[in-house]
Amino acid sequence: MKLAIEVMKKSIQEPRNDKSSPKVGAVLVKPDGTVETAYRGELRQGDHAEFTLIERKNRDKILDGSILFVTLEPCAPGARKPPKLSCSERIVNARIKKVFIGIEDPDPKVDRKGIKFLLDNGVEVKMFPPELQKIIREQNKQFIKEAEERAKSIVKEKDYTLTQKENIELSASIDDLSQNAIKNFILKARLNVEINSDKFYRIFNQLGYLEFKNNTFYPTGIGLLLFGKRPQLKYPNALIRATFKTEGRNEDIETFEGPITTLTKQAMNWYKEKISYHLKRTTAERQKIPDYPSEVIREAISNAVVHRDYDIEGAPIYFEINDKMITVKSPGKPVEPINLKDIQLLQAPSLSRNPKIMYAFDQLELVEQRGLGFNTIKQLPVKYNLPLPIITFDEPYLAFKFPRNYDVVKEITDIPTIRELNKNELKGYEWIKLKGEVSKKEYAKHFGYDNKKAQRHLSKMKDLGLLGDNNTPKTSPNYKYVIKI
């Protein structure tokens, strides 16, 4: 992956002024162990790195079982004008068995479709980790900005859909859309168009929010979800059901509906009414501080709204508050190729299930910038002295359970050995979860422990099966403890 990034930096910009070409690097590891690289424009202006590697450098070679590392999502079917094949089709035809991808295509019309084509055709796909994705995005900052702008004007080619909601919704009409929601999006996205103008229809068609049929424009499912006055009439699962229950008080149940762009704000207003506060007097003015940080819950709810699977019928988002924990349950298993463990360790690479929805939320400044991942949630132990969430998947729900103190962790965990840790050991274990692996020296320094205490903690966690090691002799200065569960 690091080699692919280094190769990427050699990419040659095409001699044109209308747009920036992406920097892309590719590395091919063949079954015999030989390694070849390519970068965009290496042998001919504009040639994709994958094309150069597969067709120009290895056209006469059998690549069955090879592994490909590429810094940008390979283009999807329909992205190239016939008879040209897309890079994802070339990868499948070459019978490459596994592909590591840096970042998804930044164009919301294309985003994740190359990945889906590979997965649908039996290719194993993995993403680069967040820290390497950050480097790729920084190197391609201008290309990404322009790609998102081009999505508003480029004529749409053959589509490869990710969800049924990308299709036209003939049972709805333009009148079902909220003028205020559309105007807000136009303003925030700097589209500079008037509603119902020719330019408006063209841009919203390119973004996948409207489709033309029978001499009129209809919303797509995504357009209805984003801008519908009440999309729940068509999609009754596209809402949040909230429950507040605390000892000694009656249960309070609320339902939040309307355009999905408004759901997070509605849920957070309700949350602020229900959560307890305490006063902070360390500044000149008294501050009301929530007993559980609202920015963490806001991120969890926003992620649920943007990344949930809207094709699962009868499954709303659940938002539950009680004395022990706060839970956000989102329909849909982790989107391939991300797996549950990536999410449980809060190390999942950036990848959206619903790129067109993500694009709208990003323009409306309702989500954090791509690539920041779970940064706010990771701050819980450090900034707030609170435990990390327990993340589970129970069909069809991905659940984020936020314990309101460390004692609750032991009550709700499904890992019995965690119950044998004391509070300080549990904090240490959670810190290692965020790091992935640590040395005794790093652990001692972070918590201000002497070597003896640090060793006692780490040995106990290893004996309980929570930690492993990096297969280095224990006497080696390179020996590290590695998170296991």
pLDDT-wise least confident of 148-157, 332-341, 344-353, 389-398 = 148-157
Cis peptide bond prior to 396, omega within 30° of 0: yes
106 vs 387, residue with greater confidence: 387
pLDDT at 158: 47
Secondary structure class of 307 (helix, strand, coil): helix
Residue 155 lies in a domain: no
Mean pLDDT along residues 177-197: 94
Residue 310 lies in a domain: yes
Tell me the two tokens of residue 253. Answer: 């149940």
CATH number at residue 31: 3.40.140.10
Secondary structure class of 113 (helix, strand, coil): helix
Asked whether residue 324 falls in the same domain as residue 403, the answer is yes
pLDDT at 369: 60
Q: Which of 95, 123, 150 is the last residue of a domain?
A: 150
Residue-averaged pLDDT of the chain: 91
How far apart CA 445 and CA 437 sit, in angstroms, is: 14
Mean pLDDT along residues 309-330: 96
Tens of pLDDT, residue by residue over 324-348, are: 999 999 999 999 999 999 999 998 8
How far apart CA 131 and CA 373 sit, in angstroms, is: 10
Asked whether residue 185 falls in the same domain as residue 330, the answer is no
Q: Which of 99, 125, 150 is the last residue of a domain?
A: 150
Asked whether residue 11 falls in the same domain as residue 25, the answer is yes
Task: Please report the DSSP string for 368-422 in residue order.
Answer: PPTT-TTHHHHTHHHHH--PPPEEEEETTEEEEEEESSHHHHHHH-S-GGGGGS-
Residue 292 lies in a domain: yes
Residue 158 lies in a domain: no
Q: Which of 150, 172, 202 is the last residue of a domain?
A: 150
Residue 368 has phi, psi (to 5 degrees) of -70, 160
Tens of pLDDT, residue by residue over 430-451, are: 999 999 999 999 999 999 999 9
| Start-end of H helices in 191-293 | 198-206, 221-227, 263-274
How far apart CA 229 and CA 306 sit, in angstroms, is: 18
CATH number at residue 368: 3.30.565.60
Q: List C-alpha distances in Å: 38 to 63, 135, 287, 445.
A: 15, 18, 56, 42
Residue pair 114/73 in contact by the 8 Å Cβ criterion: yes
Asked whether residue 14 falls in the same domain as residue 138, the answer is yes
Tens of pLDDT, residue by residue over 235-272, are: 999 999 999 998 877 789 999 999 999 999 999 999 99
Residues 6+ positions from 447 with CB-CB distance below 8 Å: 424, 427, 428, 431, 454
* Confidence category of residue 288, pLDDT binned at 50, 70, 90: low
Residue 317 has pLDDT above 60, yes or no: yes
Asked whether residue 337 falls in the same domain as residue 450, the answer is no
Asked whether residue 114 falls in the same domain as residue 144, the answer is yes
Asked whether residue 380 falls in the same domain as residue 269, the answer is yes
Residue 88 has pLDDT above 70, yes or no: yes
Residue 156 lies in a domain: no
Distance of CA 387 to the CA centre of its chain: 22
Asked whether residue 292 falls in the same domain as residue 399, the answer is yes
Residue 177 has pLDDT above 90, yes or no: yes
Residue 133 has pLDDT above 70, yes or no: yes
Q: How many domains does the chain have?
A: 4
Residue 221 lies in a domain: yes
* Confidence category of residue 407, pLDDT binned at 50, 70, 90: very high
List the domain range (segments joined by +) for residue 27.
2-150
How far apart CA 127 and CA 71 sit, in angstroms, is: 9
Residue 279 has pLDDT above 60, yes or no: no
pLDDT-wise least confident of 161-165, 277-281, 312-316, 443-447 = 277-281
Residue 157 lies in a domain: no
Asked whether residue 85 falls in the same domain as residue 213, the answer is no
Mean pLDDT along residues 93-118: 89
Tell me the two tokens of residue 444. Answer: 């001692």
Asked whether residue 22 falls in the same domain as residue 125, the answer is yes
pLDDT-wise least confident of 185-199, 217-231, 246-260, 406-420 = 246-260
Asked whether residue 179 falls in the same domain as residue 259, the answer is no
Confidence (pTM) = 0.85
pLDDT-wise least confident of 54-63, 95-104, 231-240, 285-294 = 285-294
How far apart CA 28 and CA 69 sit, in angstroms, is: 6
Mean pLDDT along residues 93-107: 93
Mean pLDDT along residues 268-279: 81
pLDDT at 370: 63
CATH number at residue 435: 1.10.10.10
Residue 176 lies in a domain: yes
| Start-end of H helices in 94-240 | 113-120, 130-139, 141-150, 179-188, 198-206, 221-227
Asked whether residue 227 falls in the same domain as residue 339, the answer is no
278 vs 376, residue with greater confidence: 376
